[in-house]
A and B are shown apart, each in its own frame.
Chain A
Amino acid sequence: MPHVELDGLKVYYQQSGRGPDVVLLHGFTSNLAMWLFSGIVPTLATRFRVTTYDLRGHGASDVPPTGYTSRDMAGDLARLADALDLGPAFMVGHSFGGVVATHLAQLEPQRVAGIILCDSYFPGLAELEPEMERVEVWQGLAEVLDEAGLDVGQRVDFARLLTAVACLTPEQRSIIETRLGPPAVRWLAQLAPLAATSAAHDTFEPAGLTAEQIASLKMPVVALYDEHSPFQATCSFLAENLADCTVDFVPGAKHLALLESPAEFVARVAKHLDAFAARTATPPCAPSQVQERAASHRN
C-alpha cells in the first residue's frame, strides 16, 4: 500500500480513478478497508479521483502517542492533500471522519469543495446529544462483550473498550463473532495499538470546532444520516443552521450504513457527489464567447 510521510508521520493511502478529487474519511477506530467492503470506491472511480487513507493511529498508518483531536487530524489531511497534490476536494466523512473534514473546512475552506457528513457526532454539539453515552450500538456491544467476560461498562468509554479488547482469546473471539458477526471481530482485532494513545480522550474534544463555527460553513454540505441514527438532533442542527445543507437518510441503518445498508449508502453518496460536481463545474462557454468577454473586459 502506498504511503506518504507527513512531518515524520507515515500515512497509508489508496487512490484510484480520474476526475474531481473525492476524499473518503473513515471513522474513529476504523480504517480505509471499510470503504472497500462497501464497494464504493470502484463506483466513484469512474468519474472521480478517489483517495482513501488511514487516519493516524488507524489501519496501517503510524500510531503516535498523542494528537488525535479533529484539529490534529485536519492538519494531517491538509498535509496529505499537499503531498498528493489534491485540488479542492469533496469530502465524504463517516462519523468522526466527517468531523475531521468539517474541521479542515473551517480552518482552510479553500481545500474543501463540499462535504458529505455520514452520521457524524460532533463534540462541539455534544449538548444536543445528551444520550450519546448510552447509544444503542454501545449497549449491544457491551452486552456481548460481557458474555465474553469483558466489562466495558454501560456508557460509551472508548479508553475502556480499547484496553479490554487488546488481547482477545480465541474463545472470546468466537463468542463475539457468533453474536455480532465477522465484521465486529475484525474491527475489535485492530484496536490494540490505540489503547496506548490519547485517542479515546481526544476524539471527544471539540478542539476549537464550536457550534458557531460548524454553523458558519459556507460550502455545500449533505447531512447523510442513518434512518435509525442516534444523532438525529445533530442532523437537525445541520439542516437548520448551515447555509447550504441537504438532508438525506440511509434506510435501515443505525450508524454503520456501509455495513448495514451498503447498496443504499453507496447510491446516495454517488448521487450527492454527482450533484456537487454538477454545481461546481465550469458553465459551458464557447471559445468565441470567451474571446468576446475578454475583449469587452479590455475595453
Chain B
Amino acid sequence: MSDWTSEQISTDVVNLLQNFPGREYPEEVTADTRFFGDLGFRSIDAVVLGEMLEKHFGGSLPFHELLADVTASGEQDLRVGQIVAFLERHLIADNSAAPQGS
C-alpha cells in the first residue's frame, strides 16, 4: 500500500499541524501536544484534520474511530502521539499485511 516509516509519519503530522490553515502555534509540537488543549483547535477542525491526513497519506482512514476512542477513553483530547500511532497502525500495518506475490 505505501512505504511510510514511523519517522516520516511523525515528521509529516507535525508539519501538517504547524501549517494548519488559520492556526498558529509558536511552541514546539511533540508527541504529548494536545490537539485541542494545546493547539487550540475547534471541534470542527478535527474533521478537517481527518481529511487532511487522508489527502496527505492517501487512501481512506477511519479517523472517526480515533475520535470516538478519544471520547470513550475519558481523556477527551487528542495527543499528537495518538494521531501518529493511528497512522502507523493503518499505513504500516496495512503494508506488512498486504498479500505477497500473486
Among A33-41, A194-202, A209-217, the one that faces the other chain is: A33-41
Query: Could you mark each residue 40-68 of chain B with 1 if its beta carbon is under 8 Å from any beta carbon of chain A, else 0?
Result: 11111011101100000000001111011
Q: B-contacting residues of A (Cβ < 8 Å)?
A: 1, 14, 30-34, 36-39, 41-42, 54, 59-60, 173, 177, 181-183, 185-187, 189-190, 259, 262-263
Q: Which A residues are in CB contact (< 8 Å) with B34?
A: 182
Q: Which residue of B lies closest to A188 (CB)?
A: B42
Q: List 8 A-B contacts (CB under 8 A).
A: A33-B44, A33-B47, A33-B67, A36-B63, A37-B43, A39-B71, A42-B62, A59-B47
A59–B44 CB distance below 8 A:
yes
- Rounded to whole Å, the gap between the CB of B98 and the closest CB of chain A is 24
- Of the candidates A59, A185, A259, which one forms a contact with B71 in the assembled complex, judged by CB atoms under 8 Å apart? A259
Q: How far is the CA of A30 from the CA of B48 in the complex (A)?
A: 16
Indicate which residue in B43, B68, B76 contacts A181 across the interface (CB closer than 8 Å).
B76
Say whether B70 faces chain A, with CB atoms less than 8 Å apart: yes
Q: How many residues of B contact A (CB 8 A)?
A: 24
Q: Return chain A residues, CB-CB under 8 Å to B44.
A: 31-33, 54, 59-60, 190
- What residues of B have a CB within 8 angstroms of the CB of A41 in the complex? 64
Contact in complex: B47, A177 (CB < 8 Å): no
A192 to B, closest residue via Cβ = B42
Query: Across the two chains, which residue of chain A brings its CB closest to B78?
Result: A182
Alpha-carbon distance A37/B71, docked complex (angstroms): 6
Are A37 and B47 in contact, CB atoms less than 8 angstroms apart? no
- The answer on a CB contact under 8 Å between B64 and A39 is yes
Residues from chain B with Cβ under 8 Å of A259 in the complex: 71
Determine if A186 and B36 form an interchain contact, defined as CB atoms under 8 angstroms apart: yes
Q: Are B46 and A33 in contact (CB under 8 A)?
A: yes
17 further A-B contacts with Cβ under 8 Å, apart from A33-B46, A39-B71, are A1-B47, A30-B43, A31-B43, A33-B44, A36-B63, A39-B65, A42-B62, A54-B44, A59-B47, A182-B76, A182-B77, A183-B43, A183-B76, A186-B43, A189-B41, A190-B43, A262-B71
